[in-house]
């Protein structure tokens, strides 16, 4: 990157987008320009509408960026601090602390714009199961080291609560570091997560990055890449295994769409940006594993209007190994977690990964739930007594299975008044066996 300052002047402003008339050599794409009078306020170069004009993003939306303001080049891009100083801290997309603590100590900083490493190159290692303690996840969507799991659902069905419970249960493993990237979520949820991690004693081995709902689309669209940059450091330099929780990956797509609209680009299917797929892959390919360590990610996926066929939801689902679908109808019936046992699926539920016994049980349960779904309509018309003995047995078993997969969470103890529950995979399989006998 160039080190000599390049000066210019803000020519026009349109929302977060501003054009800068430059003097001298052009800065590179993604290079930062700072206001000469306020060096803590910067603009990122995104394109060139002509030879002498740089089109930039005002990341923080600062009102100090105005027509006539002078800028100079920094010779650098957005960077994140490297090292163990980030552990136990909450930062924004720019690597600045937002937890009220002191400045973050870092020996060096790394640009957030890195090329992805070899995707899921485990060096010939066999798949490793990670136990979550949540029955329905360990049974239907096994948590496999280095893979991606999605928690899909509309507003208010329990995506964030389930994600927080996973952090509580899985991050207790002393050998792993946990990261949380909050994208477009409520400030209240970020505070609750921070306090929950602090009270449970696992904050010190967790890194939190937040691009919350009240922040600009630029900050929300960047925080995922910022989290991936820190994860790559711990994977490649510290050679650690990481658990990366993203809440919410749909908001990442949405923020990128807002930026694309501000830049005046032509929309594509469903009103999303034409670069929807590449925007998504840019982040997903960074959350990968290699011979140094693994990055296992859990990503909450908001469904707009509860529509699973939404183009963005479909694109996100394609890059996930497992999808836990949360149902509004299930939530309204009082079942927690509100998992749709029929739509929930996993490409990792195979004999090679979970073993023959687990696979056979899961296949049998899926068949029972499919039959139950069709029998509900029949019973609504003719009544349960008209079913054959075998169909009644399947229907009763299905209801027992639904009830069995309900579970009290540790992170909701203060609200529900019920103590949290943790089940090993063996206990879960044994419970299903007892139902099917």
Crossing angle for the helix pair 276-284 and 311-318, to the nearest 10 degrees: 30
Annotated catalytic residue 186: yes
Sign of dihedral through CA atoms 273, 274, 278, 281? positive
Instruction: Tell me the C-alpha distance between 351 and 337, whole Å.
Output: 26
**CA torsion 259→262→266→269, rounded to 10°?**
50
The Cα 330–Cα 338 span in angstroms is 5
Answer whether 174's CB lies under 8 Å from 55's CB.
no
CB proximity list for 74: less than 8 A, separation 6 or greater: 5, 31, 32, 33, 34, 42
Q: How many CB atoms lie within 10 A of CB 378?
A: 14
| Cα angle, residue 280 at apex, residues 188 and 93 outer, rounded to 5° | 45
Residue tagged active-site, from 82, 185, 232, 315: 185
**CA pair distance 114, 228, nearest whole angstrom:** 9
- Report the C-alpha gap between 163 and 172 in whole angstroms: 14
Is residue 159 annotated as a catalytic residue, yes or no? yes
- 208 within 8 A of 246, measured Cβ to Cβ: no
What distances in angstroms separate CA 163 from CA 77, 211, 272, 328, 338, one per listed residue?
32, 17, 26, 17, 13
> Catalytic pick from 89, 145, 147, 159?
159
- Check if 128 is active-site: no
Instruction: Write down how long the chain is.
Output: 437
Task: Pick the catalytic residue from 67, 186, 376, 430.
Answer: 186
Q: Would you give the distance in Å from CA 243 to the centre of its chain? A: 11
Give the residue numbers annotated as catalytic, written as ranges: 159, 185-186
């Amino acid at each position: 990157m160039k080190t000599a300052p390049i000066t210019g002047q803000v020519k026009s402003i349109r929302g977060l987008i501003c054009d800068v008339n430059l003097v001298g050599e052009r800065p590179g794409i993604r290079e930062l320009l700072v206001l000469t009078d306020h060096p803590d306020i910067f603009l990122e170069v995104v394109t060139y509408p002509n030879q002498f004009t740089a089109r930039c993003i005002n990341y923080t939306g600062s009102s100090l960026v105005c027509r006539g303001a002078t800028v100079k080049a920094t010779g650098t891009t957005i960077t994140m601090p490297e090292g163990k100083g980030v552990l136990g801290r909450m930062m924004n997309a720019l690597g600045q602390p937002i937890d009220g603590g002191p400045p973050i100590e870092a020996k060096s900083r790394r640009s957030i714009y890195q090329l992805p490493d070899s995707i899921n190159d485990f060096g010939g290692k066999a798949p490793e199961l990670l136990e979550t303690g949540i029955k329905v996840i360990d049974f239907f969507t096994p948590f496999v080291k280095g893979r991606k799991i999605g928690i899909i659902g509309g507003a208010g069905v329990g995506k964030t609560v389930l994600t927080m419970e996973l952090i509580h249960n899985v991050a207790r493993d002393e050998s792993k570091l946990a990261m949380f990237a909050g994208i477009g979520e409520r400030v209240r949820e970020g505070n609750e997560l921070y306090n929950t991690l602090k009270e449970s004693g696992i904050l010190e081995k967790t890194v939190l990055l937040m691009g919350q709902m009240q922040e600009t689309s630029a900050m929300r669209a960047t925080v995922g890449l910022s989290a991936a940059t820190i994860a790559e450091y711990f994977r490649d330099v510290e050679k650690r295994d990481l658990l990366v929780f993203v809440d919410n990956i749909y908001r990442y797509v949405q923020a990128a769409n807002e930026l694309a609209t501000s830049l005046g680009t032509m929309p594509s299917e469903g009103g999303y940006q034409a670069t929807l797929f590449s925007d998504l892959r840019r982040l997903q390919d960074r959350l990968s594993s290699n011979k140094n360590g693994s990055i296992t990610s859990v990503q909450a996926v908001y469904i707009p209007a509860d529509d699973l066929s939404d183009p963005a939801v479909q694109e996100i689902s394609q890059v996930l190994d497992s999808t836990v679908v949360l149902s509004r109808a299930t939530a309204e019936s009082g079942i927690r977690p509100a998992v749709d046992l029929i739509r929930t699926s996993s490409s990792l539920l195979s004999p090679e990964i979970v073993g023959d016994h687990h696979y056979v049980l899961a296949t049998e349960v899926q068949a029972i739930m499919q039959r139950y779904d069709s029998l509900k309509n029949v019973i609504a018309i003719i009544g349960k007594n008209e079913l054959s003995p075998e169909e009644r047995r399947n229907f009763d078993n299905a209801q027992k299975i639904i009830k069995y997969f309900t579970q009290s969470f540790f992170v909701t103890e203060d609200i529900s008044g019920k103590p949290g529950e943790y089940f090993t995979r063996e206990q879960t399989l044994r419970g299903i066996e007892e139902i099917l006998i």
